[in-house]
Structure 1
Amino acid sequence: MLAAVAVSQSATDPLSGLHVTDVPVPVPPPGWSLVKVVASSLNMHDLWTLRGVGHPADRLPIVLGCDAAGYDQDGNEVIVYPVLGNADAGMGDETLDPDRALLSERHDGAFAEYLTVPTRNLVPKPAWLSFDEAACLPVAWTTAYRMLFTQARITAGDRVLVQGAGGGVASAAIKLALAAGAVVYTTSRSEDKRRMAEEWGVRAAVPSGTRLPERVDVVVETVGEATWSHSLKSLRPGGTLVVAGATSGMNPPADLGRIFYLQQRILGSTGCTRSELVALLKLMDATGVRPVIDHTMPLGEIHKGFQLMIDGSFAGKLVVHPPTTSGAPS
């Protein structure tokens, strides 16, 4: 079968270590299922692996890809929940299991014609959701859902700032917060992305670092060093900043005086539980909100997708299609 495999890592030339090649079809062990992948999508996690960030070189080669939607062995349409973890070890939350792993960290991932996962990780795909849309959800959309509803606990009328309008998590957070009745602000260096966010319904989309018309209740932060100071200054006293990434750097100025004097809350958030993925699907069904898909491409052209990610010249999600065969795994 065809797969996109990380064979080496480079901080300066990450795509040199990504090979699209033939590999054996995986065989599921007991308790696992074989999935025929119809669609997958790119995440920053894949690029970090190719850059050697957070992924030891001794785990290479490995098939990349955290997101997948397709058919199980019985022909059912499924979405793959991407966290391989033990909920019991995480006090009922897989994301708190110290030994958890995301698909493609220790086990071959979704940029392939087939993958194997624990059968528990298969979630029925609703008929109202396309395979492309479903493939956008497992990492970016569930991350945004957990940040907004589990961690920050937003309600209708809350003021929410989402930093960096164009990213997968950020675009999901904007869409979901709007669907929940929040007043949403966002930032971007790109005029086109600001205009796009305004078309989605945000109250204002401003250049990065620009003062907002009002302070907000919640900030969704995935950018890191470049926007951290602006995030804290935009937050009202007693407000909540939820952080789930740091694409621009991991060591922002803490500004502890502001945090303790204004009693601001800083919450970390990673991934989601299986039940949160199911809850996200219910919210999408009720509200009609759907992912923003910038480009789709065949698996053989996946390097082009990663280059768009490196350049920042996309908005929303980038979807990949493996070679097509009909129906369920044989």
Structure 2
Amino acid sequence: MKALVLHQHGTVDDLTLESAWPDPQAHEGHVVIAVKACALNYHDIFTMRGMPGIKVPLPVIMGIDMAGEIVEVGPGVTGWKVGDRVLVDPFDREKTKLIGEMLDGGLAEYCEVGAHTLIALPDDVSYADAAAIPVAYGTAYRMMHTRGRIAAEEKVLILGASGGVGTCCVQLARNAGAHVIVAASSDEKLARLAEIGAHDGINYATDGIMEAVHERYGKPRVWGEGGVDVVVNFTGGDTWVPSLRSLRNGGRLLTCGATAGYDPKTDLRYVWSFELDIVGSNGWHREDLHALLDLVRSGALKPVIDRTLPLERGREAFELLEQRGFVGKLVLEPGA
């Protein structure tokens, strides 16, 4: 089969398109799926480069999020048959391993997965839309609904809004009736985010995020008004303190990651003086993925896919991912 294989940690140049990689076989309790769509995540960049303290078995086929069709059913599998359309929940909870990192993933024509990871994919949800859901949209759903409890009329500022998690957060906040403010690196991205529901935008390449919030929504006061109700921050790094200083008294900062640095400087005075709540959210649960599929089917949520590419253009997709030169999700189609 064709597969995009990482033989050693490094750069995009260390990704190899193999044309005759061994086909997987369905072992006890497993199935083999023909991968129809595999969405990239920034976690794939971390895996490619290598993460301190995490030993990834090499060579490995990355690709965490995938959807496809069952082509082989292994011994002991019940309830599934060849031809079933499926979405894969990428965290294998029986093995406590992440598919596409510790187990081979979806950047190949075929992939073996545990039957317990499968979710039936309705005919009215495309493979590409389904593949966009688990990591980014599942994480966003849990952060915004289960943990963050976004409510109508709240002013919600979303940093990193043009990526997979961010574009889902925009739609979920808009659906909740919130006033949605987004931060992105270009006017072009802000225009695209306005199309999917943002009410206001901050170009952080030209304007300071905190300064823009203070100018448009007032400077927060300990005993007064000003600021936003919620900041969604999964970047960390230099955005952390400006996020705290953008919140109103009693505001909430939601975080589910730290793509720009996990150990930012902070100022605890803002936390206690303004009685701020910092709410962490970790990944997704299976019920979150079912809820998201229902939202997609109803039309209340539309996965934002910047482009789909064949597996042969996998390196190009990873370069776009590194450069963040897109809005929403990048999807590869190994079976195209």
Q: How does the TM-score come out when normalised to structure 2?
A: 0.87
Separation of aligned partners in 2, 1:55 and 1:167 = 26
State the shift of 1:205 in Å. Answer: 0.5
Q: Contact between 1:8 and 1:57, CA under 8 Å: does it hold in 2? A: no
Separation of aligned partners in 1, 2:52 and 2:96 = 14
State the shift of 1:228 in Å. Answer: 1.3
State the shift of 1:56 in Å. Answer: 3.7
Which stretch shifts more, 234-243 or 111-120?
234-243
CA distance 1:219–1:42, shift in 2 (3 Å): same
The question of 1:223 aligning with 2:235 is answered: yes
Q: Aligned partner of 1:78: which letter?
A: V
Q: Deviations over 1:208-253 (max 9, x none)?
A: 2332233222222121113212211222222221212222112211
Of 24, 37, 49, the residue aligned with 2:22 is 24
Q: Contact between 1:179 and 1:287, CA under 8 Å: does it hold in 2? A: no
Counterpart of 1:66?
A: 64
Q: Deviations over 1:152-209 (max 9, x none)?
A: 0112333211102221111111122212322111111211111211222312001223
SS at match of 1:72: strand
Counterpart of 2:76?
A: none
Counterpart of 1:194?
A: 190
- Give runs of aligned pairs for residues 37-56 of structure 1, distance below 5 A: 37-54=35-52, 56=54
Separation of aligned partners in 1, 2:53 and 2:293 = 30
Q: Deviations over 1:19-43 (max 9, x none)?
A: 1113211123222221111011111
Question: 5+ unaligned residues in a row in structure 2: which ranges?
Answer: 72-81, 218-226
The question of 1:170 aligning with 2:166 is answered: yes
Separation of aligned partners in 2, 1:46 and 1:262 = 37
Q: Aligned partner of 2:104: which letter?
A: D
Separation of aligned partners in 1, 2:185 and 2:332 = 27
Counterpart of 1:84?
A: 92
State the shift of 1:58 in Å. Answer: 5.3
Q: Contact between 2:180 and 2:198, CA under 8 Å: does it hold in 1? A: yes
Question: 5+ unaligned residues in a row in structure 1: which ranges?
Answer: 87-98, 325-330
Counterpart of 2:34?
A: 36
Q: Aligned partner of 1:65: which letter?
A: G
Counterpart of 1:308?
A: 320
Separation of aligned partners in 2, 1:117 and 1:157 = 43
Q: Deviations over 1:71-100 (max 9, x none)?
A: 1242111111111115xxxxxxxxxxxx73
Q: Contact between 1:48 and 1:54, CA under 8 Å: does it hold in 2? A: no
Counterpart of 2:113?
A: 117
Counterpart of 1:8?
A: 8
State the shift of 1:57 in Å. Answer: 4.9
The question of 1:132 aligning with 2:128 is answered: yes
Q: Contact between 1:170 and 1:222, CA under 8 Å: does it hold in 2? A: no
| Larger Rg, first or second structure (1 or 2) | 2
Q: Aligned partner of 1:141: which letter?
A: Y
| Count of aligned pairs | 309
SS at match of 1:165: coil
State the shift of 1:55 in Å. Answer: 6.9
CA distance 1:36–1:58, shift in 2 (3 Å): closer
Of 239, 262, 277, the residue aligned with 1:265 is 277
Q: Deviations over 1:141-162 (max 9, x none)?
A: 1111111011101123332111
Separation of aligned partners in 1, 2:117 and 2:56 = 26
Of 167, 183, 200, the residue aligned with 1:204 is 200
Q: Contact between 2:56 and 2:102, CA under 8 Å: does it hold in 1? A: no
SS at match of 2:252: strand
- Give runs of aligned pairs for residues 92-107 of structure 1, distance below 5 A: 100-107=96-103
Q: Contact between 1:9 and 1:57, CA under 8 Å: does it hold in 2? A: no
Identity %: 38
Q: Aligned partner of 2:203: which letter?
A: P
Q: Contact between 1:142 and 1:277, CA under 8 Å: does it hold in 2? A: yes
SS at match of 1:68: strand
Separation of aligned partners in 2, 1:323 and 1:123 = 20
State the shift of 1:318 in Å. Answer: 0.5
